[in-house]
Amino acid sequence: MTQKYLLTKEGLGKLKKELEVLEKVKRPEVIERIQEAAAHGDLSENADYAQAKEEQAMMEARIMQLEEMVKNAELISGQHPKNIVAVGSTVKVRIDGELRAYTIVGSGEANPSTGRISNESLVGRSLLGAKVNEKVSIQTPAGQKTYEVTEIS
C-alpha cells in the first residue's frame, strides 16, 4: 500500500520548489564537480571525487524522497470542521495554565518549534477529534499533562 503524505497547498509548493532546485541546479553542479575531480587522475586517492560522489548519493536519495512525496501527496483542504480538531486545524490549548497554539499538519510539514505538529505525533494524534472545552489527558515524556481545548480555527 502506498503511503499518503498529508500536505497543505503551501507545503506541496515548497516540496516542488526544492525538487526543482535539486534537479535543475544542484544535480548539474555536483555532476560537474565529479567530472572535474575525475579529471585529476587516480580516483582511489581523490578526496574531492569521493566527497562529490557522496553528496550526489545523498542528493539523489532526497530527490527520490521528494518525488515520492509529491506523487503521493494528499492536500489538506482549508475546509475542516471548526468545532472539532482535525488535520489542518489550528487549536489553542491550555496546559498547566499556559496557553499554546498548534496547527495540526501532516508529518512532512511538522515543525514543533513553530507550532506545527504532526497528526501522527503523540500530541497531534491525541488532540484529533477533540472539541472546545474538552480536556485531553496525554502521557508525555515530561509526565501526564492535561490539554484543555480553548479554541479551534
97, 145: one domain: yes
10, 63: one domain: yes
Which CATH number does the domain housing residue 28 bear? 1.10.287.180
Q: For residue 32, what are the domain limits?
A: 5-75
Longest dimension (CA), the chain: 70
Task: Find out whether 103 and 116 touch, Cβ atoms under 8 Å.
Answer: yes
10, 57: one domain: yes
pLDDT over 70, % of the chain: 99
Task: Encode 99-132: b = buried (16+ Cβ within 10 Å), e = exposed.
Answer: eeebbbbbebbbeeeeebbbbebebbebbbebee
137's grid cell = 489527558
71, 119: one domain: no
20/46: higher pLDDT: 20
Would 20 be classed as within a structural domain?
A: yes
pLDDT in tens, 58-104: 999 999 999 999 999 999 876 777 889 999 999 999 999 999 999 99
What is the structure's pLDDT at 3? 86
Number of structural domains found in the chain: 2
H-state helical runs in 72-137: 122-127
96, 70: one domain: no
pLDDT of residue 118 exceeding 90 = yes
| pTM, full prediction | 0.74
